[in-house]
Structure 1
Amino acid sequence: MKNPDISIIVPVYNVEKYLKRCVDSILAQTYKNFELILVDDGSPDDCPAMCDEFEKQDSRIVVIHKKNGGVSSARNLGMKKAEGKYITFIDSDDFVSDTYLEYFDEAKDDDYVVSGYYSQNKNFEWGEHKQRYFKTNMDEVRICPELINYIPTGMIWGRRYKKEIIRRNNLNFDVKMKRSEDVLFNINYLLQSKSVTVLQNANYFYRSNPLSATSFFEPKLFEWSMKSVLKIGEVIGENNDLFLMRVWNNAMYVCDDYFATAKGKNFKIQLSMMRCVFKVCKDKYVRKSLHCVKEKNYVKKANMIRFFVYPFLPYIYSLYQKIRH
């Protein structure tokens, strides 16, 4: 399609069960001036053939086949080929409402636009996650750092970006990161942006994939996630409680993830998990953040206790197993 207003980038890998619904939901958009870029990341199933069939059916669809290199490399290639003024990402196992693109227009020409979403629980029931309507610019955030709390920076889907900002600043996803690469991309993008709008309505339907990278133990998660936290520090400064609470909350999230993904795994993974938790506990930023949680409220006190107990839980668990057997 010539001169599309927005480019929709969909990385495709091993999702033949969901791909048709994803593509159909995009083609059903009330806003018609878009191109759909399907990036086949060397998918081993029928997805490559499905993509080629989709391309034959609609002139707005562009298919790119590449060797498997991961979702970040697929997104980077999609951005390189994009012709639209704006870019949005949709995961190939998700789908969107027919007003997904049209709703972004409420933000006019703002640089970073976020919409709400739906997600599934364990019973496959959809729950709505509406955002609080919010409009600001990054100069205001630098003056009043607390405003950063109203800007969602997690996830790459459900956002609209300006291609001009991405290309002018040579922004890409870090292909070495298997987790948190979306947050880092968003923060890097915000650092180069001016206007921000958070829309209220939910138009994106997110499926939790048990085979995704977030389901597996990843020793480098703390290192990767801290990159985003330190980037936020470039906006709000590091010598304040707001930044240190970001550090603390990230440490809690990472430790929770380590225990959840290492649970029931072999001894090698359990040992690696223990080392990773110790690394979090010893981090200089995490240690500095402790004063923020000592006297705030009961919940934060409980979290602090949980944090200090973390390194000993594997030993307690091991002892329990020996006694039990």
Structure 2
Amino acid sequence: MDKAPLISVIVPVYNVAARLPACLAGIRGQTFADFECILVDDGSPDRSGAMCDEFAASFPAARVIHKANGGLSSARNAGLDAARGRYVVFLDADDELAPRALEYIAQVQEEAPDALVWWDHTRSPEAFEQGKSVPLRWERTSRVAQEPASDYTLAFVAAWNKLFVMDPIRRHDLRFDLRLGHAGVPGEDNKFSREYLDCVYADKNFPVAHIQLPLYHYYLNPCSLTGATPTRQIDEPDPPEPNYCARLQAEYEEKLRVAPDLLAGEPFAAACTVRIYLRSLAFAVWSAHQLGEHLARQDWDTPVTRTMLDYCRGQRIFVPYYLPFRLGSAAFIRRFYDWDIHRSAWFFRFKLLFKLLLRGWKEPPAFKE
């Protein structure tokens, strides 16, 4: 048998004849050679399966698995069963990898073997093209520092933006949940990623190697295997929680103790930390009022809160809740939060007013409503 490749790229394929050529061209154009490509045709009704066969006939690193339609989880599991690499990268058939993606991923893994290696993605074709000419740029950081931004970066959620080690996947028989990964039933990426991280890292604040380049072009395809997007769904407002303010303070005091440089890393991740904290604190003020709990100003106007507010001012980062907390009115904070969760026009009016008052402060694009 041939020597096992370093990386197995698993590509589940279903009904993507229009987008598949771009995906396959990206695979063929990789500057890194030590990989195999496993194309899993999940019973495609179009020409996708035949296109995979044609590609494999002209690209020795590729092989094709044809199977009955079972959904995204089933297709990825078939790829895992066949994978021979030491590492695994997942690529959806309507998406693309940058030409140097595998080269950069392998290099960072070699330089940071103890870290979870993950990379940025973009939905913008222009940003993806521009990123192809940018030299490798990566940062060693930690899960605690990256977690607040993960709703936007999908660092610990998506399967297609990180390097998985096959050994723990084999030892723990990790597989995608077959109940998930169908149209209207997403969540397979998140569940698999969380189970993998729990198996690999005993320390929950494990090291992370973040490649700060859009190595992955994510194409929003309503006809994909799941028909779902990775964005968060809008749910009903959370019910009030008792004693939430004290628990929130304890949580962030511990985060700052474990990672004193929490706000010193990537500006976007730090801004996410501040935004999530201030909105959670507004929820705490609102919850206390809803439940009739007494909440003194010193309960929420704490050193943690001042640290977050000072970061906004120092970096000139616009967060909607900055001015409500600087003004220090609990009544306005809880009213502003109530407008927020009910998407009231008053929330957007005051947000616009705050932007005018804080002219020149920058709002990260992912924060914009």
TM category, shorter:
0.5 to 0.7
Is residue 9–residue 88 contact of structure 2 (8 Å, CA) maintained in 1? yes
**Structure 1 partner of 2:123:** 119
Q: CA deviation at 1:85?
A: 0.2
Q: CA deviation at 1:57?
A: 1.3
**Structure 2 partner of 1:214:** 228
Measured at CA, do residues 10 and 305 of structure 1 come closer, stay the same or move farther in structure 2, by a change above 3 Å? same
Measured at CA, do residues 132 and 179 of structure 1 come closer, stay the same or move farther in structure 2, by a change above 3 Å? farther
Q: CA deviation at 1:15?
A: 0.5
Residues 212-251 of structure 1 mapped to structure 2, 5 A cutoff? 212=224, 213-214=227-228, 240=251
Q: Distance in 2 between matches of 1:293 and 1:214?
A: 33
The answer as to 2:140 corresponding to 1:135 is: yes
Secondary structure of 1:59's match? coil
Is residue 112–residue 193 contact of structure 1 (8 Å, CA) maintained in 2? no
TM-score (norm 1): 0.64
Q: CA deviation at 1:207?
A: 1.0
- Whichever structure has more strand as a proportion of its residues is 1
Calculate the aligned-residue CA RMSD, in Å: 4.0
Is residue 74–residue 178 contact of structure 2 (8 Å, CA) maintained in 1? yes
Residues 62-141 of structure 1 mapped to structure 2, 5 A cutoff? 62-104=63-105, 105-108=107-110, 109-120=113-124, 125-126=126-127, 133-136=138-141
**Structure 2 partner of 1:305:** 339
- State which structure, 1 or 2, has the greater radius of gyration over its C-alpha atoms: 2
Q: CA deviation at 1:292?
A: 6.8
Higher mean C-alpha displacement, 178-187 vs 94-103: 178-187
Q: Distance in 2 between matches of 1:153 and 1:242?
A: 23
Give the number of aligned pairs: 250
Secondary structure of 1:192's match? helix
List gaps (5 residues or longer) in structure 2: 202-206, 236-247, 255-271, 288-299, 310-318, 322-332, 345-369
TM-score (norm 2): 0.57
Residues 131-280 of structure 1 mapped to structure 2, 5 A cutoff? 133-136=138-141, 145=144, 148-149=147-148, 152-177=155-180, 178-194=185-201, 195-212=207-224, 213-214=227-228, 240=251
Q: Distance in 2 between matches of 1:6 and 1:43?
A: 26
Q: Distance in 2 between matches of 1:49 and 1:242?
A: 56
Measured at CA, do residues 117 and 200 of structure 1 come closer, stay the same or move farther in structure 2, by a change above 3 Å? same
Is residue 116–residue 204 contact of structure 1 (8 Å, CA) maintained in 2? yes
Secondary structure of 1:38's match? strand
Secondary structure of 2:41's match? strand
Is residue 157–residue 194 contact of structure 2 (8 Å, CA) maintained in 1? no
List gaps (5 residues or longer) in structure 1: 223-236, 253-285, 311-325
Q: Distance in 2 between matches of 1:40 and 1:86?
A: 21
Measured at CA, do residues 308 and 78 of structure 1 come closer, stay the same or move farther in structure 2, by a change above 3 Å? same
Q: Distance in 2 between matches of 1:290 and 1:150?
A: 19
**Structure 1 partner of 2:363:** none
Measured at CA, do residues 10 and 215 of structure 1 come closer, stay the same or move farther in structure 2, by a change above 3 Å? closer
Measured at CA, do residues 197 and 80 of structure 1 come closer, stay the same or move farther in structure 2, by a change above 3 Å? same
